[in-house]
């Protein structure tokens, strides 16, 4: 009898995605676990495939998690976040100005132009806009939002939008811009934003990033074995380490969902998804 195969979905935001999942597939096979993957060009199609029986589990962005959770609840079903990277926990986004800018805090952005990432980027668009809304400023109303849309549909996985916004900041095209905390450090280290050339005026609350989201009715034994194998991956295993490095983690951790509510709120504020997970934004192209 053929061994049941766990089918996972992933979004091809870069060519390395094939390398990563081919490597994981080979490693899972060595452990006697039948695993295969389906690549999508965007998270929307991937999440929808979680509800038509195509996928057992999906490697989801935080925004894709929010949508999958809403779609499941609206159907009386449930999805679970079963695992995530150590690097997915407790991220913050920052709002950055040029070092010589007069802007000191969120309030100073009134009447100014804020550069954000892709329309669907949690870290460079939705969460910073939510943060500013908490400070009393509404994008498009109290300040101008200029989007740097790179690879929409990939939920900001591509760093290009944040980089373009940072370059626009240096060029004086925007008054402030948004990025993930690690990218502010990274842009300083790689010279995109020379050290001392910018200043952080706002930090968002901590939030979590990607997770493995189960599909409704996914076979529990397959999911359990999948998670068990993920947790057994060791960074000191030379076969696994390059894959972990490509995927940007040191170890897998059990999934948690208590750092997604800010994003869910941002989704409602920006009218991105409906309560049942339908896409609402007419200008969202993916």
Partner 1 sequence: MDAFFVPTIDIDRLGLDEGGLLLVRRALAQLAVGERLHLRGCAPDWDLHLTAWCRQQGHEIEIHRLADGPLEAVIVRGPWAQDRWRGALESGTSQLAKDEMPAQIADAAWGLAARGATVEAGSPAIGFNLRHRDEIWAATAGDLYRQAAAAQWDPQTAIDWDAPFDLDPEIEAAIAQVMTYLIENENAALVVPARHLGQVHPHFREVQQALALQCADEARHIEVFTRRLGLRGHRPMLSTAGGQASLHTLMQAPDFSSATFLLSVLGEGSFINLLNFLHEHAPDPVTRQICRLAARDEARHVAFAMAHLEHRLTAQPEFLTRLQNAVEQRHEELASSAGLNEEVFDALVLLAAGALTPEAIAIGHGAVQRLKLDMAAGRKARLLRLGFDPAQAQRLADMHTQNFM
Contact positions vs partner 1 (CB under 8 A): 86-87, 89-92, 94, 180-182, 184-185, 188-189, 195-196, 199-200, 203, 234-236, 238-239, 241-242, 248, 250-251
Q: What contacts 24+ positions apart, CB below 8 Å, involve 168-172? A: 168/115, 169/96, 169/97, 169/98, 169/115, 169/193, 169/198, 170/98, 170/197, 170/198, 172/98
Nearer to partner 1, 97 or 145 (CB): 97
Q: Are 271 and 138 in contact (CB under 8 A)?
A: no
Give the shortest CB-179-to-partner 1 separation in angstroms.
11
Give the shortest CB-41-to-partner 1 separation in angstroms.
27
Nearer to partner 1, 106 or 180 (CB): 180
Give the shortest CB-196-to-partner 1 separation in angstroms.
7
Nearer to partner 1, 12 or 185 (CB): 185
Give the shortest CB-7-to-partner 1 separation in angstroms.
28
Give the shortest CB-86-to-partner 1 separation in angstroms.
6
Nearer to partner 1, 87 or 101 (CB): 87
Give the shortest CB-49-to-partner 1 separation in angstroms.
30
Nearer to partner 1, 160 or 248 (CB): 248
Nearer to partner 1, 251 or 285 (CB): 251
Give the shortest CB-2-to-partner 1 separation in angstroms.
32
Euclidean distance between CA atoms 91 and 206, whole angstroms: 5
Produce one character per residue of 171-203: b if its CB has 16 or more CB atoms within 10 Å, e if not. Answer: eeebbbbbbbbebbebbeeeebbeeebbbebbe
Nearer to partner 1, 41 or 101 (CB): 101
Q: Are 129 and 266 in contact (CB under 8 A)?
A: yes
**Helix intervals (H) in the chain:** 16-30, 43-49, 62-74, 127-134, 160-171, 181-190, 220-232, 241-247, 261-269
Enclosing H/E stretch for 176: strand 176-180
Q: Work out the angle between the directed axes of helices 181-190 and 160-171 (0-180°, nearest 10).
A: 60
What are the distances in angstroms from CA 229 to CA 28, 50, 54, 78, 251? 8, 22, 22, 23, 12
């Amino acid at each position: 009898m053929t061994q049941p195969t766990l089918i996972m979905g992933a979004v091809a935001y870069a060519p390395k995605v094939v390398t990563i999942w081919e490597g994981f597939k080979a490693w899972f096979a060595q452990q006697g676990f039948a695993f295969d993957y389906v690549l999508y060009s965007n998270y929307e199609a991937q999440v929808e495939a979680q509800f038509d029986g195509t996928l057992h589990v999906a490697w989801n962005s935080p925004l894709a998690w929010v949508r999958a959770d809403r779609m499941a609840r609206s159907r009386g079903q449930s999805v679970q976040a079963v695992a995530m990277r150590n690097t997915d926990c407790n991220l913050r986004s920052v709002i950055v100005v040029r070092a010589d800018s007069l802007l000191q805090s969120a309030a100073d952005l009134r009447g100014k132009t804020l550069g954000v990432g892709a329309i669907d980027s949690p870290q460079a668009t939705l969460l910073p806009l939510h943060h500013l809304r908490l400070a009393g400023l509404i994008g498009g109303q109290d300040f101008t939002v200029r989007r740097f849309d790179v690879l929409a549909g990939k939920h900001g996985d591509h760093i290009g939008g944040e980089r373009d916004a940072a370059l626009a900041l240096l060029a004086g095209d925007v008054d402030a811009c948004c990025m993930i905390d690690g990218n502010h450090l990274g842009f300083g280290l790689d010279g995109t934003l020379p050290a001392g050339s910018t200043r952080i005026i706002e930090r968002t609350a901590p939030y979590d990033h990607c997770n493995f989201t189960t599909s409704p009715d996914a076979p529990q034994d397959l999911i359990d074995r999948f998670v068990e194998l993920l947790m057994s991956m060791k960074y000191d295993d030379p076969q696994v380490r390059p894959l972990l490095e490509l995927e940007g983690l040191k170890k897998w951790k059990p999934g948690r969902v208590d750092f997604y509510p800010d994003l869910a709120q941002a989704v409602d504020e920006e009218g991105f998804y409906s309560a049942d997970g339908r896409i609402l934004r007419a200008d969202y192209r993916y």
